[in-house]
Chains A and B, each alone.
Chain A
């Protein structure tokens, strides 16, 4: 299977670093939040933290979401400066 740009970026950098980053982001959210991730199903904040910790497909999807957000940050910062 071809790897997308985010998967390659995660592979190049340290996966452990991304795991810790995403877990910290999720832990900062209130517990009443939950996420539907396409056909993977529904996850509470704590379930998602566990998926990230275990490095499951769902956990990797959460990491990919964070990578998308980081990649977008320069554009967001430019917008905020306007």
Chain B
């Protein structure tokens, strides 16, 4: 498994902190985890790692657009033309919009399944918790719902099942938030509902990483 994780601004820092927990869980499931971060987030380094590790699962946390993933300097490092890099893998792109064009291009070029979002990924935050993202109760349900997809894939679930699990989790959280008396809950509610409605995949929904 390869985890690509940018960390150069507040949202990528939040996602970066979450992958620490996932990394540990992946190892307990027997995955050899290779991490690409900082200046190593580039096309050549990714191709090299893929050649060496032959990963079944690639996770990307960072900024994206319809047709691109961005590196630690917010510069495009993968686009539709280089989407063949994801051949024979399942990809989870926790990034804005990548699914729209990059996901389709990747699947056309042999990616088993590409899971991601069809629009802007929102994180609602509490100013007071910015230094400790995992303690930010405003962001927590958003980060938990998005990381659940990857956790379920690691646990051997199919792409369809992993997404369904995340939708179910998000629905339960949304109901809790609707009834919550916490004044900040409305921010979480809107961001979580938005992200959940954009979560989707291209390719084979029955694909699993352990096949």
Q: Are B125 and A71 in contact, with the CB atoms below 8 A?
A: no
Residues of A57-82 contacting chain B, CB below 8 A: 61, 64-66, 68-69, 71-72, 76, 79-80
Q: Which B residues are CB-close (under 8 A) to A64? A: 119-120
Residues of B61-85 contacting chain A, CB below 8 A: 63-65, 70, 74
B165 CB-CB contact with A under 8 Å:
no
Q: Which A residues are CB-close (under 8 A) to B125? A: 33-36, 42
In the assembled complex, the CB of A29 is this many whole angstroms from the nearest CB of chain B, namely 5
B16 CB-CB contact with A under 8 Å:
no
Complex Cα–Cα for A44 and B138 (A): 14
Q: In the complex, what residue of chain A is closest to B129 when comparing beta carbons?
A: A32
- How many interface residues does chain B have, given as a range? 35 or more
Q: Are B63 and A35 in contact, with the CB atoms below 8 A?
A: no
Over the window 156-184 of chain B, the binary record of Cβ atoms lying under 8 Å from chain A Cβ atoms (1 yes, 0 no) is 00000000000000010011001000011
Complex Cα–Cα for A66 and B138 (A): 18
Q: Are A65 and B178 in contact, with the CB atoms below 8 A?
A: no
Q: List 29 A-B pairs, Cβ < 8 Å.
A: A25-B186, A25-B190, A28-B186, A29-B183, A29-B184, A29-B187, A30-B184, A33-B125, A33-B126, A33-B127, A34-B124, A35-B125, A36-B10, A36-B14, A37-B120, A37-B122, A38-B97, A38-B120, A39-B70, A40-B120, A42-B11, A42-B125, A64-B119, A65-B122, A68-B198, A69-B193, A79-B171, A79-B174, A79-B175
